Amino acid sequence: MIRLQSYVADRFVDGTAAGRSFVDPTTGAVLGTIDSTGVDCADALHHARTVGGPALAAMSFAARGALLGAIADALQARRDDWMEIARKNSGNTTRDASVDVDGGIATLKYYARLAKGLGDTRMLIEPGADRLAKGPFEARHVWTTRPGAAIFINAFNFPSWGLWEKVAVAIVAGMPIVAKPASGTAWLAEAMVRAVVAAGVLPAGVLSLVCGSAEGLLDAVEPFDCIAFTGSAETGRMIRAHPAVLAANPRLGIEADSVNTALLAPSATPEAAAFERLVEQALAAVSVKAGQLCTNIRRILVPAGVEDAFVATLATRIDDLVVGDPALAEVTVGPLVDEKQLRAAFAGLAALAPETRTVRGGGIPATVVGADTAQGAFLAPTLLVADTGAVLSAVHDVEVFGPVVTVIPYATLDEAVDLAARGEGSLAASIYADGAEEAATIAARLAPLHGRVLVVDAEVGRGHTGHSIVMPQCVHGGPGRAGGGEELGGLRGLRFFMQRTAIQGSPTMLADLAAKATETSL
């Protein structure tokens, strides 16, 4: 039986209570326990600020990038171990686990290269000076490291990527980390941190991990800290309203619920390449990670004239999916992460039922390969159809976090944009149109509603990373109900962890200041 530990103040510590169990979602078997009772979160944050923070702040951007490269190497050396843990604890197929494990390592490597390019300075300065008076009095804007700690509270669906994509940006910015993974899948995060600690690649105090409840973590927040949360909108609201957060006013970034949209262009026909490209992405939405991606397609908007053909085609493709034990090569859809998530998915489906009809799935699969539906947290890939979207509510509001999509017809592009807006802000949208001009028109209209818009036209074809895949070069986050946060995006991600300051003075002083910095636009 595995007993996960927290890593705080540069040592692994046990919780003092029995804790909660975490399981293999394929079999329901208990894998181990997790508990943070008695872990001093205030001391962990103090140690990060006073030990890890100064160590990172004294390093150049290039040196911080070297740290990320060393972390990536330590993790890459044990990739097979991480893939196995992802299968056992998250129910991931090999493809699913790669998205999480390889995605985390690749993001570390990307930011390692980015930091190397910033050179041997510790400060960034924006291009150009602003003249403030007739005399020699100007201003320039600089970015410097904040003297706080980065607090990460992560969701269950990406225990690797969710941790390391945040760690990568924070370390480049010079900020130490105290991370709290979701308890149900924390085994992978804890094992990876153990490997990094064993490799001895980080200065003391730079990385801490709280395994279990975050009780006490927010109580100890201070003004120069940064809190990055990924999870439900309900928990996000609790964090925003926490008395210590309100009093200290730290940076707060939230990535919450998102009823993401895929849109087939008005001109598309069943014979169009765009039609096929959307079918492919819709199929991925009900298979990759069993639909448990925050950026996953939830609503599919199609022209009313092609609705029947699209539903029939997608239903046929869904019939070819194989649900079961993710250890088996033929299995394409694994279980949800645990029984709790399965119950939540059923509750969401019940909310959608009055507004939709079920074409495929909608419940526990009739059969699964190599597993028992009575023991595992299996949900059949589900295709729902709404006869109209204009007068409905739940289809625009309820995110079923599993292999579930809803097809909604529209009559005009104006109606399609209005339906997309009913999601009240989302992380991602995708557009499928064979013509670049039509695609660009739609993209401009959807952009204000989303943090990222994937546009697949004839030129792109299959040469794209997919609706749900978050790339480190692009910002990740979304407006409104998606949380209003933003992370990644290359150097743009540094904005959250660093302080921009207007330095006013003489041109000579500003030139001396610039000589100590790397000039770049964030």
pLDDT of the residue at 463? 87
Residues 6+ apart with CB under 8 A from 113: 65
Pairing label, strands 207-209, 177-180: parallel
CA atoms within 13 A on the CB side of 319: 7
CATH entry, 260-479, from 3.60.20.10, 3.40.1010.10, 3.40.309.10, 3.40.190.10? 3.40.309.10
Phi (first) and psi of residue 35, to 5 degrees: -160, 135
pLDDT per residue as tens digits for the range 137-155: 999 999 999 999 999 999 9
CB 68 within 8 Å of CB 112: yes
Phi (first) and psi of residue 380, to 5 degrees: -65, 140
Pairing label, strands 404-410, 382-385: parallel
Name the nearest CA neighbour of 301 among 394, 397, 415: 415
pLDDT of the residue at 194? 97
Rounded CA separation 247/225 (Å) = 12
How many CB atoms are located within 10 Å of the residue 168 CB?
Answer: 28
> Catalytic annotation on 294?
yes
- Show me where the domains of the chain are located: 40-256+485-519, 260-479
| Active-site option among 255, 307, 355, 399 | 255
Low-confidence ranges of the chain (pLDDT < 70): none
Rounded CA separation 223/147 (Å) = 9
User: What CATH superfamily classification does 40-256+485-519 receive?
Assistant: Aldehyde Dehydrogenase; Chain A, domain 1 (3.40.605.10)
Structural tokens at position 163: 């941790």
Q: Which amino acid is at 485?
A: G
Helix (H, G, I), strand (E, B) or coil at 235: helix
CB 459 within 8 Å of CB 433: no
pLDDT of the residue at 216? 87
Which residues on adjacent β-strands are paired with residue 255?
Answer: 230
Q: What angle do CA 85, 87, 91 make, to 5 degrees?
A: 130
pLDDT of the residue at 392? 86
pLDDT of the residue at 390? 77
pLDDT per residue as tens digits for the range 314-372: 999 999 999 999 999 999 999 999 999 999 999 999 999 999 999 999 999 999 999 99
Phi (first) and psi of residue 434, to 5 degrees: -75, -25
pLDDT of the residue at 419? 95
| Active-site option among 41, 211, 226, 294 | 294
Structural tokens at position 99: 């998205």
